[in-house]
Structure 1
Amino acid sequence: MLRNWQRDCVNSVIDHFNHHKHYFCLATPGAGKTVMAATVGKMLLESGKIDYIVCLSPSRTICESVSSTFKNLLGKPFSGRIGSVGVSLTYQSLLNGDHSVLADLVNSRVFVVLDEIHHCSGSEFVQGNAWGIQLLRQISSLATFTLSLSGTPWRTDGDPITFASYDRPDSGLVYHWEYGLSDAVTDKVCRLPKVMALDALRITKNAHGSHESYTSIAEFLKDSDNSYLDLLSNESLTSEVLSRGVERLAKLRETSPAAGGLVVAASYSHALFIKQMLEGIFSQKVVLVSYKDENSIRQIEEFRQGADHWIVSIAMVSEGVDIPRLQVCCHLSATKTELYFRQLLGRIIRVTKDQTGECFFYTLAEENLISYAQRLEQEVSGSYIKERLTEEKVVFSPCTGTQGKPNDHDISVFFGDDFVNDGNGLSSADEDLVDAPSTLVSSVLSIDAIRERVIQVLMNSQPTL
C-alpha cells in the first residue's frame, strides 16, 4: 500500500509524462522513493507507454536493493536477462562498457530511473563528471522518460546536476515534487531524529614541550595547529561517543530487540579499532563492511535481516542503503559536509512497525555539524552557483597523494566495489587513501569533562497522533 505522498507523486509523474520527458523528485532519505518509482514503472508498463525499465544508481549495494524492489512490486523478472522487464545498473557500468543490454533498446520505449542523481554532474553547457557525461551520451537519446530521484540535491563541487533544470538568476534547482523531512516526520513516514553533540570542557594538548588548554571543541579547532582528525584520533573521546551510542541502543532494544546501530569511521584502520572497542569493551556483536571484503554486500544483507548490534563502515553504508532497523548512528567520519550529514541521518530515520518513532545521531560538537542539525527544518534545494562559492571541498587525491579538487581522472579510478570519487563528497573505494587516523592515540591530547548537548531539530514537525 502506497503512502499518501507516494500516491500523489505517482499521479503527478504520470500526468507530467503526458507532455514532458524529464521529472525530478526531491524526497527526504527514507521516505520511499524507490517504491514510488517502481509504481510509476508498473503503471507505464501496464498502460503500454513503455517497453522496458532501466534503473541507474551509484553503487552495487543500492543497485541490488533497487532491483529487488522493482522485481517484487512488478511481479516480474528484473535481471536484464531474456524475459525480464528491466535491469538495474550502476552509473559506473556506463563507463566500464558493462551494459550490452542498452544496445538492444535503441528502438524501444525506455523508462529510465536515475537514483541519487546528484552524483552525476554536467549539462550541454557545463562539462560534468564522467558519470554525467555518460548519461548525456548514452541515456539522453535512449530514454523515453526519465525520473530523477534525490534526497540531497546539491553537489559540493558546485557543478549542476545532470538532467536538472535551474532557475535564473539564482540558479535554484527546479523540481516537480518535494517531500521534506519535516513533512515525513509529521506523517510518521520517518522517525524524529535527535542529534546529540558531544563537547569537551577540558582539552589539554602536550606536544613538542608545549602545553595548551582549551575549554571546548570549537575553541580547540579555532587553533590552526589543531585539526578535526586530532579529535577522531583520541581514544577517550571515541570511547565516550561509542559508550553513549551503546547505552542508547540497549534502551531501544528493550522494546525493539532487533534495533541496530551504525558507526561511520574515518578510515579502514579506524574502523577496525572501533570494531575491536565495541566488541572488547562493550561486548557488542559487530559487523565491519569494507571494499576490502568481497562479501561486503552479502554482509550488509545479513546485517539487515539479522539482530547484531552494530555495523561499522567507512563509506559503504551511507546514502541509499536500506537497513530500516538502524536507529542509532555514531558519526566518527572525517567528512563534515552537509550533504554527507543528511545522507547518514537518512540511514536511521526509516520507520518500522515494531520500533519507536525516534532515532539518535551522535557526533562531536563541531560548529558545522551543529549548524547542519539546526538547518534540518530547511529543505535545502540545490543551487549550484551558491554551492560553488560556499561549499567547495578539498578532498584527498588518490592520484597525487596530496590534497586537491576531484577531477575526471579521480572518478575513473574504479576499485571493483561500490564507491568511486565522483566529486561529490567522500566516496572512494580505497578507504586507506583517506587522510585519516591510522591509529588512535591518547598521548598528545588529554580530554575530559565531556558533556552531551542535545541539538533541537524539527521543533515544528512533531509526529501526528
Structure 2
Amino acid sequence: MHRALRSHQQQLAGLVEAIATGQTDLADILAAVTPGGGKSLLPVIAAARLMAAGVVERVCWIVPRDSLRLQAEEAFADPTWRAALGHGVSVRAAENAPDPCRGLQGWITTYQGVAAAPDLHLQEFRRHRTLLVVDEVHHLPAEAIAEAPEEAAWSRAILPLLEHAAVRLLLSGTLERADGRPILWLPYRKGAGARVREVDLQAPGFAVIGYSRAQALAEKAVLPVDFGALDGEAEWLDEERRRTGPHPISGPPEVGRAALFTALRTGFARDLLRRAFAATRDLRAERRLRLGLAAGETGMGLGKLLVVAPDQENARQYLGWLRGWLPKDQAGTVARIATSDEKDAQEVLAAFRLRPEPSVLVTVAMAYEGLDAPGVSVCAALTHIRSRAWLEQMIARATRVDFAAGPYETQRAVVLHPDDLLFRRFRERIEREQGTLAREKARRRQGELEIGPEGEREPPIVPLSSNATALHWHRLAPGPEFAAARPVAEAAPAETPSARERALRSRIGQMVAAQVLEDEGGLRIPRGGVAHHAYAAVLKRVMGKGRAEMSLAELEATLAWLERNRIADHLALLEGDSRYGWTVRQRRFDFNAGR
C-alpha cells in the first residue's frame, strides 16, 4: 500500500473499534480536520468496522454539493483502501427515488436532496440502524436564519436524521461559521467573553478528533503554501458618477471594497491571471523534465491551475484570456470552465480531477469545497469572498499531495491573490488559531469590507481600470494546535542608507527579471538570454542612468516607475543599437510542452 493512515484516521479507527467491541456507548464523533487533511477516508473506516460488528446496517453520507457525491462513492470503491482495510462496503450516489441503496450497503445524498424529500430518507433510518455522516457540518446552523433560508431548511430536514441515527460522524474543515452562529448538533459552552460560545470539546457522549494544519504538515499530509500577494491600483466612477482613484487595493477599508470589485473586473485580474498561468507553465515544464516525459507528452502529476472567479460573467472572460495564451489547437481541451450554467460542468470537473486534461479549470464556487483534485498546484484566487471558511477551503484545493508528481519535498502549493486588507488578515489569523470559537456577529467599523460565501449587493460603482503593481511572497506558517498567544517580534534594527540602496537595487533587478519572464510567457518577446540585458538597457535609458550610479531617491523613483509601467512598451528606445538587433515578434508557445 502506497498510503498509510494519518494520526486522525488512526484515532477514528480506535474509536470505532471501541464502539464495535462495546467498550463505549458514545454515538457522536466530531472530526475537525484541516481542509485537505484527508476527511474522505473517515466514513470508510467507520462504516467498514461498524458494519462488520453489526452495530450499523447502512451508511448515509450527506455532502453539501452534488459534485461531491461521486467523490464520496469513489472513496468506498478505492481498491487500495479496500485491500488495506479489508472491507467490501459499497455505496451509491443516490437520487431522491425509493430504495436509495439499491441492494448496496449505503447511499450518498446532498443537503438539498434531503431537504427536497425528508420523509424518504427518514424512512430508511427508521428501517435500518444507520451510520450518518454529515460532511462540512458547519453549513448547518443550529437556529433559524432569516438571511439564509436555504441553510435553515437543510437543518430542519437533517435534524430528524441525526436524532434517529445509530452513530453520527460529523466532518468539517472548520468549527466556525462565517456568520458566527452555532452549528447544528455541536455542543457549546460559554466562552471567556460574554458574547463568545466555544465548541465544548469535553461534552459527554462526544468524541472529538482534531487534525490541525500543523499536524498535517508534520505528517506530510498537506503541502506548504506560498502566497503571492499582488497589489495594484484601481479607478472607478462612484455612485454619483465621479471619477475616483487611483486607489491601491492594499489601501484602507474605506476604498478597499470598491478597489477590489474593480480590480477583479479589469486589467488587474488579467495581470494576476497571467502570472498564475506563467507559474503553472513553468511548473509543468520542470516536472515534465523530472518525470522524464517527452516534449508535448502529457500525463498526471504535471500540475494544474485552478482559477476561482467572482461571478460567471467574469469566469467566461477569464477563460477567454487563458485560451488566448494557448495554441489554438489545444485551447479548447487544455482550459475549461465549470459553473452552474454549463451543461457539462460535472463532466468537466470529473475530467479535471481524474485525467491529464484539462489542466486549467475556471470556476466560481463549484470547485471551492471538497474537490479532490491533487493535481492542482496553482490557484488564482480572483474571488471577492473573504470569509475564513471559504478561503480555507479554496486554498486547500492546492494543498493536496499529488502522488503522481514525485517526492513530497518537491511539491508546494502556490496561491496568487489580491493583496487586500482582509486577505492579509485571513492569512495571519489561520496562523494564530485553530478556529473552535463561535462569536455573535460584531458590528463592523464603517467602511470595512466583509463579504460572505453567498456574496452581497454589488457596490453602486462603475469599474474603469486597474493594473497590478508589486508582488510579495509569503510562506504560510503551520501555526499552533489551538489558539495561543504569539510571541512579540523583536524590533528590527535600523536600516542604513547603503543597506537600503542594496535592497532597492536587488528589488529592481527582481522586477526586471519578472517582467522578462512574464513577457516571454505572454508571447510578447522571444526567449533568449539577450532579453534581460535589453530590458536593463531600456530601463537605464528611461531613467537616465544605471542602477549602480543612482542615489537612494533615484532608486526609489525607478522602483515606483517599474510598478506602474511595462518595459516592453519602451523597446523602441533600443532601435539602432546593434547590440540589441532583434525584433519583438510573436512565437508559438506550447503550454503542455513547456517550450
* TM-score bracket, shorter-length normalisation: 0.7 to 0.9
- Cα distance between partner residues in 2 of 1:436 and 1:195: 27
Q: 1:438 to 1:251 in 2, by over 3 A?
A: farther
Counterpart in 2 of 1:75? 88
How far is 1:158 from its partner?
A: 2.6
- Cα distance between partner residues in 2 of 1:361 and 1:27: 21
How far is 1:262 from its partner?
A: 0.5
AA partner of residue 363 (structure 2):
S
Q: 1:67 to 1:183 in 2, by over 3 A?
A: same
- Cα distance between partner residues in 2 of 1:438 and 1:205: 7
8 Å contact kept, 1:233–1:437: no
- Cα distance between partner residues in 2 of 1:37 and 1:304: 21
Please say which structure displays the higher CA radius of gyration.
2
- Summarize the alignment of residues 25-104 of structure 1 with structure 2, pairs less than 5 Å apart: 25-72=31-78, 73=82, 74-79=87-92, 80-97=100-117, 100=120, 102-104=122-124
How far is 1:334 from its partner?
A: 1.6
Q: Secondary structure at the match of 1:167?
A: strand
How far is 1:281 from its partner?
A: 3.0
Structure 1, 249-258 or 152-161: larger mean CA deviation: 249-258
Counterpart in 2 of 1:280? 324
Counterpart in 1 of 2:282? 251
- Cα distance between partner residues in 2 of 1:353 and 1:60: 26
AA partner of residue 239 (structure 1):
R
Q: Secondary structure at the match of 1:104?
A: helix
- Greater RCO, CA 8 A, separation 6+: 1
Structure 1, 11-20 or 160-169: larger mean CA deviation: 11-20
- Summarize the alignment of residues 367-382 of structure 1 with structure 2, pairs less than 5 Å apart: 367-382=421-436
How far is 1:123 from its partner?
A: 5.7
Q: 1:390 to 1:51 in 2, by over 3 A?
A: farther
8 Å contact kept, 2:11–2:209: no
Counterpart in 2 of 1:365? 419
Structure 2: tracts of 5 or more residues without a match: 93-99, 202-207, 289-300, 481-595
Residues 420-455 of structure 1 show CA distances to partners (whole Å, capped at 9, x for unaligned) of xxxx94259xxxx9849999x6xx23535x111112
Q: 1:225 to 1:77 in 2, by over 3 A?
A: closer
Which of 344, 354, 365 is the matching residue for 1:315?
365
- Summarize the alignment of residues 259-338 of structure 1 with structure 2, pairs less than 5 Å apart: 259-283=303-327, 285-307=334-356, 308-338=358-388
AA partner of residue 316 (structure 1):
M
Counterpart in 1 of 2:507? none
Residues 272-307 of structure 1 show CA distances to partners (whole Å, capped at 9, x for unaligned) of 000000010355621100111232112101111222
2:455 corresponds to 1:455: no
- Summarize the alignment of residues 291-440 of structure 1 with structure 2, pairs less than 5 Å apart: 291-307=340-356, 308-355=358-405, 356-384=410-438, 386-389=439-442, 425-426=452-453, 435=458
8 Å contact kept, 2:256–2:420: no
AA partner of residue 220 (structure 2):
K
8 Å contact kept, 1:198–1:241: yes
Counterpart in 1 of 2:558? none
Counterpart in 2 of 1:411? none
8 Å contact kept, 2:16–2:46: yes
Residues 297-352 of structure 1 show CA distances to partners (whole Å, capped at 9, x for unaligned) of 12101111222221100110011111110011001112111111101011111112
8 Å contact kept, 1:270–1:437: no
2:221 corresponds to 1:189: yes
RMSD over aligned CA atoms reads: 3.2
- Cα distance between partner residues in 2 of 1:3 and 1:459: 17
8 Å contact kept, 2:34–2:211: yes
Counterpart in 2 of 1:117? 137
Counterpart in 2 of 1:15? 18
Q: Secondary structure at the match of 2:25?
A: coil
AA partner of residue 313 (structure 2):
S
Q: Secondary structure at the match of 2:273?
A: helix
- Cα distance between partner residues in 2 of 1:460 and 1:324: 23
- Alignment TM-score, normalising by the size of structure 1: 0.81
Q: 1:30 to 1:212 in 2, by over 3 A?
A: closer
AA partner of residue 133 (structure 1):
R
Q: Secondary structure at the match of 2:258?
A: coil
Counterpart in 2 of 1:413? none
AA partner of residue 78 (structure 1):
V
Q: Secondary structure at the match of 1:50?
A: coil
Counterpart in 1 of 2:185? 163
How far is 1:379 from its partner?
A: 4.1
Q: 1:238 to 1:298 in 2, by over 3 A?
A: same
How far is 1:460 from its partner?
A: 6.6
8 Å contact kept, 2:430–2:479: no
Counterpart in 2 of 1:416? none
Counterpart in 1 of 2:198? 172
AA partner of residue 278 (structure 1):
L
Q: Percent identity?
A: 20
Q: Secondary structure at the match of 2:125?
A: coil
